Structure formats: structure tokens, C-alpha cells
A and B are shown apart, each in its own frame.
Chain A
Amino acid sequence: MNNPYLPWEAEVVERVQESASIVTLRIRFTDPAIRRRYRFDVGQFNMVYLYGVGEIPVSIVSDPQDEQLLDHIVRAIGRVTRALVTLKQGDRLGIRGPYGRGWPLHEAVGKDVVLITGGLGCAPVMSVINFIVKRREHFGKLTILQGVKHANDLIWRTQYERWAMLPNTQVLLAADVAGPQWQYLVGKATILLDRAVLDATNSIAMMCGPEIMMQACVTELLQRGFNPESLWLSMERNMQCAVKHCGHCQYGPHFVCQNGPVFQYPEIDELFGHKGF
């Protein structure tokens, strides 16, 4: 039987507290046969089921070639996530997936890669950074731009510092509100673009975060001569089934769970920025 609605049992192998409200759950299927069979692309997501409560979509941030564990970064923000972050090692949950279309990494090979994230919505882009850093030689210049509201919101600070040391890599961080120890930029995410040295003709940009931020970045990048086809955005909508049936995630003609969550800008430019879709 092939029932797309039925989760598989999985267990939490490790729990990493990333910040007060963010936890990485390292998960594996309890059935070894499913573990062997399961494959995903960078940028895809799973439906994570908390027993007796419900399912939510969570993007997979581990490396697709790591066959042991599936990493999910969860931020305590809603009903389900606030309980998910309290799971401990050995706790069981349900997983089904992977779903959706991930990041265009094949297209990015040989090109400069610009990765822009805003706010705390950085999980989907973390998977790309991790992927590229591991295969650094296949890509051109890597530019990582991360904007946060408060300086305190920046997690993985040491990771960013490590990435900044890599060859041919620029890392720029900005906070709307700087704290006492903040040695980076102050302002919106677009201020990062002002400081970045980008080759519009041979770059691919991938972004994730609040839509208003992505909108500002798209405008700026287009002005700087980026081809609309070279801009990729990760969209977030309500998802309940992840198999294109429940209708919640519709974004105009698209079902974000299937046609997205990653979109090429011209695919969504008709509605992008319109409140209510």
C-alpha cells in the first residue's frame, strides 16, 4: 500500500539547543529499510508529526549524502513547534516526506552564489551553505548575507566566522538593532547588498526570510543587473497535507508544497508582494 498520508516512525537521536527558542532535532527512521530507501534534495522538507498533536512542515538541513541522520531546525513559535523543541533523545515522532522542490544547486555549479537570509527564517538556506561549503571547489565566489532584527537573534555566530575564513568567500552580517558586542553592520538586509561585491552576469542568488525583505532584495538585485531567472526564493505558506490536496499552501496558481517551496522569481512575480496571497 502506498498511502501518502501515513507517517513513518522516527526517533530523536540527538537534540541540540541552538538558542533559547531554536533546537536542532537529529532524527532517524526506526525502520532500517526506510532509512536505506529515503533520499532528499537540499531545500526539501518533511512533515514532522508530534504524537497526538499534529503535523508541520520542517525543512531538512542535513547533507543529502549523510544517510544516517536527518537534521531539522525547529523554532518554538506555534502550537506544535513549542512542544517539538521539548523532545528529548529517544523520543518518537512521525515523519513523512521528502516534499517539494529544493534549491537549484545543479544550476549553481560553476557560478558565484549569493545567499541572503533575513530574520530567523534561515533554516532553508543553512542547508545550502552547508552543502556548498562541503563542495567548495564546484562553485565560484560565495557571498553569505544574513540580516537579523536584534543582534541577539544571530545564532551560529562562530559558524559565520568560520565561513568568512574560507577562500573566495564573503560573509556580511547586519542587525536592525545592534547590541553591545555587535561588530557587524547595522540596518536592513539591503544594506548588506550595498557592501557586497557581486558579478551580476555570473551569479545565482538564493534567498529566504520575510517576504518584505526578499522583495527589497529582488528589487535591488534586478537594479544591479541580475537576470530575473537567477533569483530563487523560498516561500512559506500554511501546509497541512504536503501532497497538493488540502489547498492551504496555494500561492496563486502554485501549490507551494509541490511547486515550491523554492521558486524562480519569474514563476511568482505576478503575485509577489501582494498582501493576501
Chain B
Amino acid sequence: MNTEMVKPRIAVHKFSSCDGCQLAFLNAGPALLELAELTDIVYFAEAGSLEREVEIDIAFVEGSISTPQDLTRIKAIRENSAYLITIGACATTGGLQGLRNLYASNTRDWTGAIYARPEFIETLDESQPVSSHVKVDLELWGCPVSTQQIMTALRALLFGVTPGDDRDKICMECKRRHNVCVLITKAAPCMGPVTRTGCGAICPAYGRDCYACYGPAENINAEALATCFEGLGLLPQDIARRFHFINCNAPNFKQAGTIWRNKS
């Protein structure tokens, strides 16, 4: 079809992260072969492709910005990339390592507590989302993101269309899967009512409560859910930890967690 883009050049970059989101590419199976047909994968360290300094059309970025080197590198990547997509909680909100922004008193203390020779550690004071430093065109939430999220976004871009952004609560997906609600039947402190859809409601499907790895949904009422958890018997610090977890630096999770942390 003539409206199809010419083969776009793509890159997959890694910053402070566990590499898990890149597996959404490597675990794609046959779709990975198709992806290689449809695009030119010019940089993907985990898959061995290392052409780094070239202009590219779509950059996927995993990981948070937590060192001075990260900062320099993300700016260079932004300059070389027409469209930049963050993949996963680290790149999108600063990730689990962002807990140090909230709970460590200062950088010297925590590096000293962890490393034998902290003077060799060069770090920023906070673990930050990519969007704190450069313009992000699309955020794919999740810890980790799924193959489907990446392929859906890529397909939309290949069609020349802005990828969709489903910000509904995961409860919608959970009910479509006919899961029995764990909050109602087991008094489990499920984060579903404040969490963004995208995972397919995996945890409730296996009988456990959602822990919000996809971050906040649109129009959440964190206070009402926290009050509900209190009614289920959770202590204030436990409620705080439900919000201060993988996406602790997403503004409304950060705020909700801090309110309950201050109550404990």
C-alpha cells in the first residue's frame, strides 16, 4: 500500500533498569522476525546491534535516568530520534529505584550503606523518568511492558497514526476476563481500581491482588481506595507501601503514599 512508511529505523536503548522490558522484543517469537522485515533495527545492545550514533525514526527507551552519564546520553538519543517511546515503569516514572527519591535521606548515606567504596559511585540525587529531561512522544507503562503493547504502538506508527493510549482502570479488563474480584471475595488490597489497564489483569486471574505495576489510571480516587484498605485492616504504613512501590514517583501515587506514610 502506498501510504505505508518506508522501512523505519528503530533503536532500543537501556538506562537504569533490569532489562526486563527489552525482553518484550526478544520474547516476541515470530513477531520479532516480522519486525526485522518491517523495520531496520539499528541499535539494540541486548540483541547485539550496536550502531549508535545514527539518525533513527523510533527510539524505545528502557530505564530511568539516574547517573550524569544517563543524562548526557538521553539528550543525544532525543536529538537523533524522530519519535521517542519510553517502555516500562523505570523509563516512564523512575521505577522501583525511585523509592530512594522518597525514602533515602541523602545520596551519601545510601551509597555508603550499599557500596564498600561509595566514592566510585557517580549518581544523580534522584532516579528520574525520561520525561523529566527530554520530550517523550509516547509512554508505554508496565513492569515489564508486554510484547503486545510494543507491537500495537509500532503498528499504529507504521500506519502513520498516533498510537492509542488506553488509560482505563484494570478493573474493566478484569471483568471482561470474568475474574472473580479478589477485593470483594477475599478482602485482598487490590490496586486494580487505581491502576492503568494493559497487562490483561494477570494477577487477579491467578487469585492475587494487583500491585499497580502499570501505574495510575486516569481519574483515580486514591484516597477512597486507601480508606477502603484501612477498612480491610491494613495499617497506614502498609497502605503507603501499596502506592510507594514500582510507580512510586507517579505524582498521584507519590502523593497518596506520602499521606498515609505520614499517618503511620
Task: List residues of chain A with CB under 8 Å of any chain B CB.
Answer: 50-53, 79-80, 82-83, 86-88, 91
A23 to chain B, nearest CB (A): 14
User: Is B110 on the interface with A (CB-CB < 8 A)?
Assistant: no
Question: Which A residues lie within 8 Å of B219 (CB)?
Answer: none
Question: Which A residues lie within 8 Å of B2 (CB)?
Answer: 88, 91
Task: Give residues of chain B (153-170) contacting chain A, Cβ–Cβ below 8 Å.
Answer: 155-156, 159-162, 164
Task: Tell me whether A87 and B161 are in contact (CB under 8 A).
Answer: no
Contact of B164 among A51, A79, A86 (CB under 8 A): A79
Give me 7 A-to-B residue pairs in the complex whose CB atoms sit less than 8 angstroms apart, sorted by A's number: A52-B159, A79-B164, A80-B161, A82-B162, A86-B160, A88-B2, A91-B3
In the docked arrangement, what's the CA distance between A50 and B160, Å? 11
Task: List residues of chain B with CB under 8 Å of any chain A CB.
Answer: 2-3, 155-156, 159-162, 164
Q: Which 8 A-B pairs have the closest CB atoms?
A: A83-B161, A53-B161, A79-B162, A52-B159, A83-B160, A53-B159, A79-B161, A91-B3
Please give 13 more A-B residue pairs, beta carbons under 8 A apart, in addition to A52-B155, A83-B159: A50-B161, A52-B159, A53-B156, A53-B159, A79-B162, A79-B164, A82-B162, A83-B160, A83-B161, A87-B3, A88-B3, A91-B2, A91-B3
Question: Which A residues lie within 8 Å of B161 (CB)?
Answer: 50, 53, 79-80, 82-83
State the main secondary structure of chain B at its contact with A: loop
In the docked arrangement, what's the CA distance between A51 and B156, Å? 11
Minimum CB distance partner of A53 in chain B: B161
Minimum CB distance partner of B164 in chain A: A79
Question: Which B residues lie within 8 Å of A88 (CB)?
Answer: 2-3
In the docked arrangement, what's the CA distance between A86 and B164, Å? 18
B156 to chain A, nearest CB (A): 7
Task: Tell me whether B3 and A86 are in contact (CB under 8 A).
Answer: yes
Residue of A51, A52, A87 ringed by the most chain B CB atoms within 10 A: A52
B83 to chain A, nearest CB (A): 15
Residue of A50, A51, A53 ringed by the most chain B CB atoms within 10 A: A53
Question: Which A residues lie within 8 Å of B155 (CB)?
Answer: 52
